[in-house]
Chains A and B, each alone.
Chain A
Amino acid sequence: NAGVTQTPKFQVLKTGQSMTLQCAQDMNHEYMSWYRQDPGMGLRLIHYSVGAGITDQGEVPNGYNVSRSTTEDFPLRLLSAAPSQTSVYFCASSYSSDGYGYTFGSGTRLTVV
């Protein structure tokens, strides 16, 4: 089925470990982004990309890296996990530069102990 696929769905990390959250879309969308969702705080933008080879920082980028080598994939890397990065992470993509038609993945629930 067409859409945004995130893996893994669940992950537990120890403080200081690194990992990559995967995100892939098969809709040929140019725009992709990563959000984190914490209780009572709403979704906050971590990083985004407006096309292959182009990325930029969002509201809460510290501790995360991204790259966009293809239109389909937009992985999010945690460099050295901290308990403050415990959250639910969502990847989203869109064919337009505004929020119309955003498609979100089903999320990755990350716990850092």
Chain B
Amino acid sequence: EDQVTQSPEALRLQEGESSSLNCSYTVSGLRGLFWYRQDPGKGPEFLFTLYSAGEEKEKERLKATLTKKESFLHITAPKPEDSATYLCAVQDIRMDSSYKLIFGSGTRLLVRP
């Protein structure tokens, strides 16, 4: 069964304190792994797509990396505006419809000034 587990559930950082969020996944074959940011009361906002082990993507203070079993979202020198819930999702190549995403439950990040 396809599964996505994110850790930690919640993370508190001081402004400037770098850290990483983890997304471990189990799929028969990975078509793609996706990171989203979700602010309170809003819908998820797309950040990155990763397709193969070793791939990396960057956007401002965020960098996403991918291995065969997990993905990390590295946050370098975070600012309070980076506070949000970060969601990870995977797409299984085996699914009869390639449109389906399996989401993790997210990591709530709070960055204190």
On A, residues with C-beta under 8 Å from B are 4, 31, 33, 35, 40-45, 48, 50, 56, 58-59, 90, 92, 94, 97-107
Contacts and interface: CB of A to CB of B under 8 A. Distances in A.
A83 to B, nearest CB: 21
B42 A106 contact: yes
B87 interface: yes
B97 A50 contact: yes
B105 A99 contact: no
B99 A42 contact: no
8 contacts: A42-B87, A45-B101, A98-B99, A99-B99, A99-B101, A100-B49, A104-B45, A106-B41
B98 interface: yes
Contacts of B113: none
B99 A50 contact: yes
B44 A90 contact: yes
Contact of B89 (A40, A90, A99): A99
A105 B4 CA distance: 23
Contact of B97 (A40, A43, A56): A56
